[in-house]
Structure 1
Amino acid sequence: MPGSSWLAGLRSRLSGGREREDGLGILAFEAAAAMSRLVSLHRSLSDAEVRRLRGDALRAEGVARLTSTDQSLLLRLACGELVADLDRAAGTASRLGHARCPDGEPLLRDFDRVYAEAKRGSLARLDATAGFSFSRGAGKRFREMERHVAATAKLYAEMDSLTELESSERRMEQWRQHSGPIIPAQSANSKRQQEPSEKLVRELRLQRHKVRRLMEGSLWSVAPRKAAKLMAKSVLAVLARISVAFGASVPGLPLPPLAAGRQASWALGHSSGPLHRLTATPADAAIRHSAPIFRPKDAAMPASESLKPAATTVGGSGMELLYANVIVSAETLLKALRPAIRNEEVAQDGLELSMRDELYKMLPVTIRAAVKAKLRERRREQRQMDEEAAAAAMDAVERVLRWLGPMARDTQRWHDERSMERGQRFSMRPRAPMVQTLHFADRRKAEAAIVEVLVGLSCACWYDDERRRPAGWDE
């Protein structure tokens, strides 16, 4: 990302030294990231996505085997992650409104207090307050944020390009200073030597014009008051939608405006209203756990603290991404081995050996030791690996990877989506829920499944090595 000091200097250069008092300026990128998170939450809470979460993600075989079969617990975790993401977006809206709109309306000046009150259950009262409605026109506001994010993401990319061009200009200037003037006798091709410099000057001029134009059409030039109000009302609308989608299952959520019996006229964009009938949930309602992974906090709304996994989970040990990479690498090796074991074709020796070596190097010491112990036991029981045994080992690996592989790929996607790389910074698509990753998985069970996969692959590799060995090799 372009540095803050450089961007401030660029703004000064492109505006002739005049500061734009009516625009967000450098804060545009922080605002765009928060808006992209809000749009992503909005899309994640559509009827189709919530149905997919309830019907597919939370009932996946991997989640049931490694995390829990308790749907109340899983729904609370999924809801808690959405609320945590919303808290971060609300924090940006609050900082922007407090710092840039100190004399504005209460929604902007004290949004942190407004948001806290909304989470405690005052959504209906806030929506009924004159000039404070967040339910009407919610869909239009989200579409407006989509346009702002897209334009600001384009500005971000073009500023990066401008930075590279200016760096090239500085390097060329330094080269000129060190090379000295061109001697006339040696300057027959001086015109040709000057062409790259002239081309760079033209490119710089065009790029600065492009950046200046994008500044005018993005959040860079949007008034802070307008951006803060847009985000603040959208935060409250997302909170209301979370209450509609999860209120019947998760205790502690505020009742949305439609709980009083009104029609869901405020429903967001493509949402058709509540998926479930809202019922009053006692504050002390118990969350039933199928495993002692978390301690319930039933009286309070789900918070980011509830997302902290125990030390007995894969996420609690900080190993979820490493385990996910191991599992995905095992899937790749399985695909390479399958044709050779089933006599469909001969795998490429160099490629297969390289994949095996890379996978072995990835393994933590504990898993490596467990695999070696299992293999020693297998070799004592079976002195030679035949085709039938190798095929059975491959089938066992495939059965495990059918439910373990999706959790690993979702774990990789979850980490990629929350990185600050350029491609993800302004992403507005629905994100992978943490609950369907390895984050909350029981570490002991996950490691046992990984060991089973690696032992099966090792047996298949054992047979493949024996099959390739020339006759009389051991003599």
Structure 2
Amino acid sequence: MPARSWLAELRSRFGAGGARADGLGILAFEAAATMSRLVSLHRTLSDVEFRRLRADVLRAEGVARLTSPDQSFLLRLACCELVADLDRAAATVARLAARCRSCAEAPLLRDFDRLYAEAKRGRLAQLDVAVGFSRGAGKRLRKMERHVAAAARLYEEMDALRELEASERRMENWKQHSGPIIPSQAAPGKKPAAEPGEKLMHELRAQRHKVRRLMEGSLWSVDAGRAAKLMAKSVLAVLARISIAFGPFVPGLPSLTVGRAPGHSSGPLHRSAMPGAALRHSVPIFGQKDAALSVLESTKPLASTIGGSGMELRYANLILSVKTLLAALRPPAADGEEVQEGMMDLSARDGLYKMLPVSIREAVNAKLRESWRGQAVDEEAAKASRGEAEVVLRWLGPMAHDTVRWSDERSMERGQRFSMQPRALMVQTLHFADRKKADAAIVDVLVCLSCVCWYDDERRRLESVDWDDE
């Protein structure tokens, strides 16, 4: 059952049952998902991850070829996505605070959406003095980790309870249509075996008890005001870390006094003291207008990009299929090397051909006619074509993998809903990749793959003829 429909079912069945009157109840899962996002953002902005972003991710060959070699532009895109993620977390906190009666007396929560907008416009340092979000950031992080883990366990056990209750309903329906069940006779001296219905009822009672116990020890029963305050301070702490990490490269971020920055398990980030740290071609990410809107506009891909056409996942799956099919075709055996049979069949090739967008299919056919008209494909040509395809796939493949990973990490599947690991960023995927450049690279790889396939087909045909002659 999809996550949303199951949560709707839980809301109708449990409501706030098992929770205190001021507890979160069914909203615990939304709060836990937001906490997991905040923990993930904390980890993505750690010293180690930020160094990896600058040294490896943004300098990857595929990103430079298809998106941009301009590091300041790429850093701005990464910063925009992180702030957009943080905006969504802040919106959840504001909604939760608005539903909490006790929050009306807390200045931080009374009008959190306005405070958050002011923090982004430059009042971050003043808010730190007022609410002290930079103090105890590590402790809040660990507390959110525990809350997320407990909510994930509760989610899992509620799902198990739902399955048991479905089994109970099926058994009741079966009893109604099949008549009374005659109990089996136990052998003399032996204890009668438990009936299936009794075993199921025992499991149901035990599972309901487990769920109630987990409700009492999780966000389900935590005061809504306490949870909202915990997340509100964490939102501001993450904003501070974004400002400190990206401040030297993205002008316009709110400033926070050095030394008052939120701590982190990997050590605090510090602003660069170099006067030229703000790279050229960068523009302010925040202005006096609505900051959230400007960030979302900044992460919107152009129509000329793969993401602008909504084709990034299709392109990623196409590239990964090409990589798989090329690996399935064995390279020509070297002298003295044992020949091994290839594993790719014709249906796999047909499936790949059907995946091709019309523009790529036409370009491949045209280039094949131009490149191989009247020419035989020998072993040397096949080797050269394989080498050319592998060179391109070495930088194109990682972008495809990251695109699939990015999509999976932002799905609402249970495995990702409460994930707290650092996530892939849109800038390292095919989202912002220039579509014409990507099309040209994919066409080259497909032409090379066709050459390898032709040679493999001819080799198989000759081997079949030799076998028939024998």
For residues 338 and 70 of structure 1, what CA distance do their matches in structure 2 show? Answer: 39
Q: Is the 8 A contact 1:333 1:352 kept in 2?
A: no
- Number of residue equivalences: 452
Select which of 351, 355, 375 maps to 1:358.
Answer: 351
Matches for 1:138-287 after TM superposition, within 5 Å? 138-182=137-181, 195-258=195-258, 263-264=259-260, 266-274=262-270, 276-277=272-273, 287=281
Amino acid at match of 1:197: G
Select which of 435, 438, 445 maps to 1:446.
Answer: 438
For residues 49 and 75 of structure 2, what CA distance do their matches in structure 1 show? Answer: 13
> SS at the partner of 1:310?
coil
Matches for 1:256-405 after TM superposition, within 5 Å? 256-258=256-258, 263-264=259-260, 266-274=262-270, 276-277=272-273, 287=281, 300=287, 303-340=295-332, 345-349=339-343, 351-380=344-373, 382-405=374-397
Residues 389, 209 of structure 1: CA spacing in aligned structure 2 closer, same or farther, 3 A cutoff?
same
Question: CA offset at residue 379 of structure 1?
Answer: 2.3
Question: CA offset at residue 205 of structure 1?
Answer: 1.1
Residues 85, 471 of structure 1: CA spacing in aligned structure 2 closer, same or farther, 3 A cutoff?
closer
Residues 184-233 of structure 1 deviation map (CA, whole Å, 9 limit, x = unaligned)? 9xx669x9997221221111111111111111111111100000000000
> SS at the partner of 1:94?
helix
Residues 299, 266 of structure 1: CA spacing in aligned structure 2 closer, same or farther, 3 A cutoff?
closer
> SS at the partner of 1:251?
coil
Matches for 1:77-96 after TM superposition, within 5 Å? 77-96=77-96
Question: CA offset at residue 371 of structure 1?
Answer: 1.1
The TM-score, its normalising length taken from structure 2, stands at 0.90
Q: Is the 8 A contact 1:314 1:443 kept in 2?
A: yes
Aligned to 2:115: 114
Residues 209, 121 of structure 1: CA spacing in aligned structure 2 closer, same or farther, 3 A cutoff?
same
Aligned to 2:134: 135
For residues 329 and 368 of structure 2, what CA distance do their matches in structure 1 show? Answer: 18
Aligned-pair RMSD on alpha carbons?
2.6
Amino acid at match of 1:173: E
For residues 38 and 113 of structure 1, what CA distance do their matches in structure 2 show? Answer: 19
Amino acid at match of 1:163: R
Q: Which runs of 5+ in 2 are unaligned?
A: 466-470
For residues 276 and 105 of structure 2, what CA distance do their matches in structure 1 show? Answer: 36
The TM-score, its normalising length taken from structure 1, stands at 0.89
> SS at the partner of 2:307?
coil
Amino acid at match of 1:3: W
Aligned to 1:293: none
Question: CA offset at residue 137 of structure 1?
Answer: 0.3
Residues 263-304 of structure 1 deviation map (CA, whole Å, 9 limit, x = unaligned)? 25632232333162386999xx9626xxxxxxx666636612
Aligned to 1:36: 36
Question: CA offset at residue 180 of structure 1?
Answer: 1.5
Report % sequence identity. Answer: 64
Aligned to 1:48: 48
Residues 387-417 of structure 1 deviation map (CA, whole Å, 9 limit, x = unaligned)? 0000000000011011000001000000000
Amino acid at match of 2:174: W
Question: CA offset at residue 375 of structure 1?
Answer: 1.3
Question: CA offset at residue 182 of structure 1?
Answer: 4.0
Q: Is the 8 A contact 1:138 1:269 kept in 2?
A: no
Is 1:74 the counterpart of 2:74 in the alignment? yes
For residues 311 and 8 of structure 2, what CA distance do their matches in structure 1 show? Answer: 37
User: After alignment, is 43-52 or 104-113 more displaced?
Assistant: 104-113
Aligned to 1:103: 104
Amino acid at match of 1:171: R
Amino acid at match of 2:417: R
User: After alignment, is 21-30 or 355-364 more displaced?
Assistant: 355-364
Q: Is the 8 A contact 1:313 1:439 kept in 2?
A: yes
> SS at the partner of 1:249?
coil
Residues 173, 250 of structure 1: CA spacing in aligned structure 2 closer, same or farther, 3 A cutoff?
same
Question: CA offset at residue 62 of structure 1?
Answer: 0.4
For residues 265 and 13 of structure 1, what CA distance do their matches in structure 2 show? Answer: 38
Amino acid at match of 1:463: Y
Question: CA offset at residue 361 of structure 1?
Answer: 1.9
Question: CA offset at residue 341 of structure 1?
Answer: 6.3
Aligned to 2:10: 7
Amino acid at match of 1:160: D
